[in-house]
């Protein structure tokens, strides 16, 4: 087991293991009178909670995916915590994908104005992204992640044994964020995946552990340097400006990581034109992502719909549409408010 420490609103310890999550959880429960375990339906069907602990454990099952992050789920959860009389010294534990750890963390952030919580992410996206960095939240009927709070878990228990039941599609979508970390901050990640197909990665647990650890280190160092997302944390949005528009346009039929994959190729092409990124590195984006069966292009006709959606992003930020660029491997830059005609020309390079 290895441990990474993140210094954010509080100290978060990330424990990385293979098949020892229950031991790590038992340690995290030590000394707590009670714990509320919030778990998604799919994960609940995979495990039996034989946790050796003196802690009185209460289990609350929530729907899988985004419905688990809805106000309906949160209202039920708050009522359940109230009925069971959860106090400030009790603990919340979220076990599941990013949607589950997001809502578990938000419940912890809001219950009695904030109680301790532990994240046990079970998807690649959850391990390298959602459970790292202290953002918790939920969806509103008006959009995803509109409601939230910064409230870091005291422990994040990352255990690769969960990943055996994850679908190939969700595995690859999570790897898109790992690859992103490779381009923006740690090119060793790219060396590790270069020339490999998804099945080769999945079948090599040491490699999976190395990749997940490296990506967590990238996010941990960015977040430790800049917790509340001003300048520095923005580098994590590489590929995300177009990705958010594509996610909405696809009515969320594409996974977030799939949209980020297309968005990264777009950002790389934009960087080739605006920031002297070499053609070889643009090609490397396509090669690595394509090898993992991630999409690298999107419908040509979608551009007229995507442009207003990019402007929505602009509304959220103020006056500008901002792209994170890559000037070279491990070196990011920014581009504010590029012209529509330029963007449309770049889009032609990622459209099919
Ligand atoms: N807080 C943050 O900083 C942050 C960052 C990135 C993403 N997120 C959020 O995380 C979510 C995306 O994460 P995700 O892809 O894990 O989503 P998810 O929780 O919806 O999980 C995806 C699917 O995988 C299933 N699953 C998860 N673990 C499994 C396992 N071990 N075996 C079998 N099936 C499993 C889930 O049931 C679900 O159907 C989004 O809601 C996103 O907004 C948050
Ligand atoms: Zn992302």
Give the DSSP per-residue string, 259-288: HHHHHHHHHHHHHHHHS---HHHHHHHHHH
User: Where a domain ends, among 115, 147, 165?
Assistant: 165
Q: Are 329 and 290 found together in one domain?
A: yes
CB distance 285 to ligand 1 below 6 Å: no
The DSSP secondary-structure symbol of 49 reads -
- Distance of alpha carbon 32 from alpha carbon 21, whole angstroms: 18
Q: Are 211 and 154 found together in one domain?
A: no
Q: Are 252 and 342 found together in one domain?
A: yes
Q: Are 42 and 139 found together in one domain?
A: yes
Q: Which residue has the tokens 């490397």?
A: 284
Q: Are 161 and 215 found together in one domain?
A: no
CB distance 165 to ligand 1 below 6 Å: yes
Q: Are 65 and 180 found together in one domain?
A: no
Q: Smallest Cα–Cα separation from 286: which of 214, 349, 198?
A: 349
Total domains in the chain come to 2
CB distance 133 to ligand 1 below 6 Å: yes
**pTM exceeds cut of 0.85:** yes
Q: Are 331 and 203 found together in one domain?
A: yes
> What is the token pair recorded at 281?
């590195």
Q: Where are the alpha helices (DSSP H) in 186-318?
A: 187-193, 198-202, 205-225, 240-249, 256-274, 279-291, 303-317
Q: Ligand 1: which residue has its CA nearest to atom 12?
A: 98
User: Where a domain ends, among 118, 136, 165?
Assistant: 165
Looking from the CA of residue 123, the nearest atom of ligand 1 is 28
- The answer to whether 264 and 318 are in contact (CB under 8 A) is no
- The answer to whether 178 and 211 are in contact (CB under 8 A) is yes
Distance 166 CA to ligand 1 centre (A): 10
* CB neighbours of residue 196 within 10 Å: 15
Q: Are 297 and 205 found together in one domain?
A: yes
Q: Which of 39, 130, 136 gets mutated to test ligand 1 (max ligand atoms within 8 A of its CB)? A: 130
Q: Are 116 and 203 found together in one domain?
A: no
Q: Cβ contacts of residue 31 below 8 Å, gap of 6+?
A: none
> What is the token pair recorded at 295?
């999409």
Distance 70 CA to ligand 2 centre (A): 19
Q: Ligand 1: which residue has its CA nearest to atom 19?
A: 97
Q: Ligand 1: which residue has its CA nearest to atom 44?
A: 130
**Residue-number span of the structural domain to which 57 is assigned:** 2-165
Measure CA 195 to chain center. 24
The domain spanning residue 345 has which CATH number?
1.20.1090.10
Q: Are 139 and 182 found together in one domain?
A: no
Cα angle 6, 11, 16; round to 5? 55
- Distance of alpha carbon 259 from alpha carbon 172, whole angstroms: 12
Helix (H) or strand (E) holding 81: helix 71-83
Q: Which of 9, 120, 123 gets mutated to test ligand 1 (max ligand atoms within 8 A of its CB)? A: 123
Looking from the CA of residue 46, the nearest atom of ligand 1 is 32
CB distance 162 to ligand 1 below 6 Å: yes
CB distance 153 to ligand 1 below 6 Å: no
- Distance of alpha carbon 311 from alpha carbon 321, whole angstroms: 7
SS3 85: coil
- The answer to whether 13 and 155 are in contact (CB under 8 A) is yes
The domain spanning residue 32 has which CATH number?
3.40.50.1970
**E-only strand ranges, the chain:** 2-7, 11-17, 34-40, 56-62, 91-96, 117-121, 135-140, 143-150, 155-159, 322-328, 331-336
Q: Are 143 and 190 found together in one domain?
A: no
- The answer to whether 219 and 181 are in contact (CB under 8 A) is yes
> What is the token pair recorded at 53?
């602990």
Distance 128 CA to ligand 2 centre (A): 10
* CB neighbours of residue 191 within 10 Å: 10
CB distance 286 to ligand 1 below 6 Å: no
Q: How many CA atoms lie within 13 A of 215 on its CB side?
A: 31
CB distance 96 to ligand 1 below 6 Å: yes
Distance 86 CA to ligand 2 centre (A): 33
Q: Are 27 and 129 found together in one domain?
A: yes
- Distance of alpha carbon 352 from alpha carbon 335, whole angstroms: 25
Tens-of-pLDDT digits for all 352 residues of the chain? 899 999 888 999 999 999 999 999 999 999 999 999 999 999 999 887 778 889 999 999 999 999 999 999 999 999 999 999 999 999 999 999 999 999 999 999 999 999 999 999 999 999 999 999 999 999 998 888 999 999 999 999 999 999 999 999 999 999 999 999 999 999 999 999 999 999 999 999 999 999 999 999 999 999 988 766 666 889 999 999 999 999 999 999 999 999 999 999 999 999 999 999 999 999 999 999 999 999 999 999 999 999 999 876 655 566 678 999 999 999 999 999 898 999 999 999 999 8
């Amino acid at each position: 087991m290895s441990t990474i420490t993140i210094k954010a609103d509080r100290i978060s310890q990330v424990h990385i293991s293979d098949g020892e999550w229950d031991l790590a959880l038992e340690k995290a429960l030590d000394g707590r009178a009670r714990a509320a375990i919030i778990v998604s339906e799919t994960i609940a069907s995979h495990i039996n909670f034989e946790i050796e602990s003196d802690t009185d454990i209460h289990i609350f099952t929530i729907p899988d995916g985004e419905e688990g992050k809805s106000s309906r789920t949160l209202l039920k959860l708050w009522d359940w915590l109230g009925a069971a009389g959860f106090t400030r010294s009790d603990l919340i534990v979220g076990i599941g994908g990013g949607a589950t750890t997001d809502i578990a963390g938000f419940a912890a952030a809001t219950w009695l104005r904030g109680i301790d919580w532990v994240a046990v992410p079970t998807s690649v996206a959850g391990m390298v992204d959602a459970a790292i960095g202290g953002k918790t939240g939920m969806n509103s009927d008006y959009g995803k992640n509109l409601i939230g709070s910064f409230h870091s878990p005291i422990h994040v228990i990352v255990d690769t044994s969960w990943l055996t039941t994850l679908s190939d599609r969700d595995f690859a979508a999570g790897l898109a964020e790992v690859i992103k970390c490779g381009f923006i901050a740690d090119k060793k990640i790219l060396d590790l995946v270069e020339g490999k197909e998804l099945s080769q990665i999945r079948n090599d647990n040491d490699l999976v552990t190395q990749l997940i650890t490296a990506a967590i280190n990238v996010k941990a160092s960015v977040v430790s340097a800049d917790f509340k997302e001003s300048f520095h944390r923005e580098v994590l949005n590489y590929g995300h400006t177009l990705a958010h528009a594509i996610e909405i346009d696809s009515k969320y039929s594409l996974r977030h990581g799939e949209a980020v994959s297309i968005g990264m190729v777009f950002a790389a092409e934009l960087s080739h034109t605006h920031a002297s990124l070499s053609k070889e590195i643009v090609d490397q984006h396509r090669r690595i992502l394509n090898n993992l069966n991630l999409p690298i292009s999107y419908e040509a006709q979608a551009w007229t719909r995507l442009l207003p959606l990019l402007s929505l992003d602009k509304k959220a930020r103020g006056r500008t549409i901002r792209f994170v660029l890559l000037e070279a491997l491990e070196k990011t830059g920014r581009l504010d408010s590029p012209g529509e005609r330029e963007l449309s020309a770049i889009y032609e390079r990622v459209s099919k």
